[in-house]
């Protein structure tokens, strides 16, 4: 339980344990806080045991309730399984298992994996396999697609825990006469600091005195041993000094996981979770995005993409303004409610209002089972994982990614784009995690500038086209984290007033469009840089790799990898997040819990 408590920060909506006892597996699981499970176990303890598995769930498939909580049992209750990740092909596996007479209690992909594992275990045992649990895990893993860390115990394999991982974290803890497995080291850091990092597609079998690592086919494999010198608190942040930094660095994964399983090899969108009648989606003649704060900026980025791909008029409304302006909404309006927490009262009230007017509502949300998805007609979950820091970063990129997928899906459904055009955009999106990682790996210059600017009193942010909401988000990050007055403007607006703010030494961050983008936006923004530079601004430019045209007018240039214009916000935002986080850290501020802010604004 201490290990589970240390993993609480990873977010959860239910928790459970299973232990091996001489009388078989004893298991207990509860939805809600870990304390619910602790209370239940205090009231009726499990039998003593030295072998067991425990899990805190961040729901992806199936609501967060007792039934869907892990562990899931199989093989007539003799096998217990826990799982992190998303098994993409669970539907076809489930159909095949149902054919074989398997029955299921939950809606989860995990229970399908457990049933698959149980069936193979029975076959191997009948065939006299000397290590049925390990070999069953190997064979089952060969059939699973997607992202998974699976752990299993079987009552007929005492003292053994077997695990497999693909695209999802798992580390081994090497103890003295005991061994451990955890999603990260914080799960066992109280018991050992000797850890082994596992590679992709590996199976590990642990007993009290042995750790055996192989690939999915049984070939011996090596894990990388390391010593954990983090303290427990740092371990919960993956070794980063703050959740904010951890989450900024989680962004390649947040985008990748949000894309996972939502298109096929031919580049066709598969958004089965969008349970809205296709005829209704075809009849939509207006889209209204409802959101607040950072999520509203994600909506603004989405507007450019959706209107370009789908040719559907798309409005982005601040939720708290929407329902007080007598908006024109009817059954042909599709509302897209974007919310990381799914609990923002302003957005929830706006969603209720829109539905009363007959609109269909799709939520883009990061918190499974939260209120806004429950009160929407459909939900497209972002899979950014729990976002602990109050200021949103990885959820923002994941929201933009999910909104792109929604736009491409509508274009596919309504025939605005040919299949190959959609496949091309999906291929570009698939490259984004690596491009984001490239920016993260080359962040030292941005961090140094941030530290040098720790005494800045105000910073302006300019952007154009999709760079405009990025500029707004960059300003919001600096306000939220460093408490510095910051303002984002549309670059084209400069001469209509804001240029009066420019004076000697005024820092201005400019997000420059690709030189290969549309029209002459690039040239116009470069001339904006010249105009403010001529008036003494300190120009800090975010530009596309190779765009040396900006260097003559920029004090500082930070390059991001080339990418199509509409996808650029997934990259140009990242230096601005790092800048705000580093500058706030340089001022000694708590970047995870900024003053006056709450992670979820559940009052209007």
Contact set with ligand AGP (CB under 6 A):
292-295, 339-341, 344, 347, 390-392, 480, 600-601
At closest approach, how far in Å is the CB of 436 from ligand AGP? 18
Select 37 or 591, whichever has its Cβ closest to ligand AGP: 591
Select 110 or 295, whichever has its Cβ closest to ligand AGP: 295
At closest approach, how far in Å is the CB of 342 from ligand AGP? 7
What gap in Å lies between CA 105 and CA 69, rounded to an integer?
A: 11
At closest approach, how far in Å is the CB of 132 from ligand AGP? 46
At closest approach, how far in Å is the CB of 191 from ligand AGP? 36
Name the token pair of 394: 């990885």
At closest approach, how far in Å is the CB of 243 from ligand AGP? 13
Closest CA to 175 of 87, 50, 40, 300: 50
At closest approach, how far in Å is the CB of 475 from ligand AGP? 11
At closest approach, how far in Å is the CB of 467 from ligand AGP? 19
What gap in Å lies between CA 292 and CA 298, rounded to an integer?
A: 10
At closest approach, how far in Å is the CB of 513 from ligand AGP? 24
What are the residue ranges of helices labelled H in 431-466?
A: 432-441, 444-452
The CA–CA distances, whole Å, from 376 to 303, 339, 347 equal 20, 12, 11
What gap in Å lies between CA 127 and CA 384, rounded to an integer?
A: 42
Half-sphere exposure of 231 (CA within 13 A, CB side): 3
Select 198 or 351, whichever has its Cβ closest to ligand AGP: 351
Residue number with the smallest Cβ distance to ligand AGP: 293
Select 339 or 514, whichever has its Cβ closest to ligand AGP: 339
Indicate if the alpha-carbon torsion angle 248, 383, 186, 177 is positive or negative: negative
Select 102 or 387, whichever has its Cβ closest to ligand AGP: 387
Q: Which letter does DSSP use for residue 408 in this model?
A: H
Select 69 or 289, whichever has its Cβ closest to ligand AGP: 289
Name the token pair of 114: 């457990």
Q: Which residues of 375-408 are buried (b: 16+ CB within 10 A; e: fewer)?
A: ebbbbbbbbbbbbbbbbbbbbbbbbbbbbbbbbb
What are the residue ranges of helices labelled H in 386-431?
A: 394-414, 419-430
What gap in Å lies between CA 309 and CA 391, rounded to an integer?
A: 30
Select 119 or 385, whichever has its Cβ closest to ligand AGP: 385
Which residue bears the tokens 């040239």?
Answer: 523
What gap in Å lies between CA 218 and CA 541, rounded to an integer?
A: 51
Select 181 or 391, whichever has its Cβ closest to ligand AGP: 391
């Amino acid at each position: 339980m201490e290990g589970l408590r240390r993993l609480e920060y990873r977010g959860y909506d239910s928790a459970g344990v299973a232990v091996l006892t001489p009388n078989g597996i004893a298991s207990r699981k509860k939805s809600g806080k870990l304390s619910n499970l602790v209370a239940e176990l205090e009231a009726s303890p499990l039998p003593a045991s030295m072998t067991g598995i425990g899990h805190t769930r961040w729901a992806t498939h199936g609501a967060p309730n007792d039934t869907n909580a892990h562990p899931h049992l199989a093989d007539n209750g003799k096998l217990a399984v826990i799982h992190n990740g998303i098994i993409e092909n669970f539907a076809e596996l489930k159909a095949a298992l149902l054919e074989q007479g398997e029955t299921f209690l939950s809606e989860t992909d995990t229970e399908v994996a457990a049933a698959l594992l149980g069936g193979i275990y029975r076959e191997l045992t009948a065939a006299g396999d000397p290590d049925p649990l390990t070999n069953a895990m190997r064979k089952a893993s060969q059939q699973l697609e997607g992202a998974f860390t699976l752990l299993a115990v079987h009552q007929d394999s005492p003292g053994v825990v077997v695990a497999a991982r693909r695209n999802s974290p798992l580390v081994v803890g090497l103890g003295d006469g005991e061994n451990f497995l955890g999603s990260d080291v914080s799960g066992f850091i109280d018991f050992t600091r000797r850890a082994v990092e596992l590679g992709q597609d590996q199976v590990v079998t642990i007993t009290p005195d042995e750790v055996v690592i192989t690939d999915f086919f049984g070939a011996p494999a090596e894990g990388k041993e390391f010593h954990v010198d983090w303290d427990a608190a740092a371990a919960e942040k993956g070794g980063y000094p703050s959740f904010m930094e951890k989450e900024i660095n989680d962004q390649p994964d947040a985008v990748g996981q949000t894309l996972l399983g939502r298109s096929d090899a031919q580049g066709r969108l598969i958004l089965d979770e969008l349970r809205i009648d296709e005829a209704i989606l075809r009849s939509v003649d207006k889209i209204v995005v409802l959101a607040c704060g950072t999520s509203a900026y994600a909506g603004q980025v989405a507007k450019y993409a959706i209107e370009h791909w789908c040719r559907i008029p798309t409005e982005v409304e601040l939720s708290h303004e929407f329902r007080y302006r007598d908006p024109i909404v009817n059954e042909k309006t599709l509302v897209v409610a974007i919310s990381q927490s799914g609990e923002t009262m302003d957005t929830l009230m706006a969603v209720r209002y829109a539905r009363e007017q007959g609109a269909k509502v799709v939520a883009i949300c990061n918190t499974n089972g939260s209120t806004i998805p429950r009160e929407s007609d459909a939900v497209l979950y972002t899979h950014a994982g729990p976002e602990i820091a109050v200021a949103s970063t990885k959820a923002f990129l994941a929201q933009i990614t999910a909104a792109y997928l929604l736009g491409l899906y509508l274009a596919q459904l309504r025939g605005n784009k040919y299949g190959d055009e959609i496949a091309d955009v999906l291929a570009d999106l698939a490259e984004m995690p690596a491009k984001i990682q490239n920016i993260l790996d080359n962040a030292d210059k941005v961090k140094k500038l941030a530290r040098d600017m720790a005494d800045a009193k105000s910073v302006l942010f300019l952007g154009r086209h999709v760079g405009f909401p990025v500029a707004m988000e960059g300003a919001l990050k600096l306000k939220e984290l460093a408490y510095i007055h910051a303002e984002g403007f549309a670059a084209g607006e400069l001469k209509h007033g804001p240029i009066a703010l420019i004076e000697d030494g005024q820092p201005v961050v400019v997000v420059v469009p690709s030189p290969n983008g549309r029209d002459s936006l690039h040239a116009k923004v470069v001339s904006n840089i010249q105009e403010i530079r001529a008036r003494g601004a300190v120009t800090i430019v975010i530009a596309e790799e190779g765009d040396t045209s900006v260097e003559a007018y920029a004090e500082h240039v930070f390059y991001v990898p080339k990418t199509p214009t509409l996808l650029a916000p997934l990259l140009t935002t990242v230096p601005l997040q790092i800048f705000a986080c580093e500058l706030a850290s340089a001022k000694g501020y708590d970047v995870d819990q900024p003053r006056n802010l709450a992670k979820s604004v559940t009052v209007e």
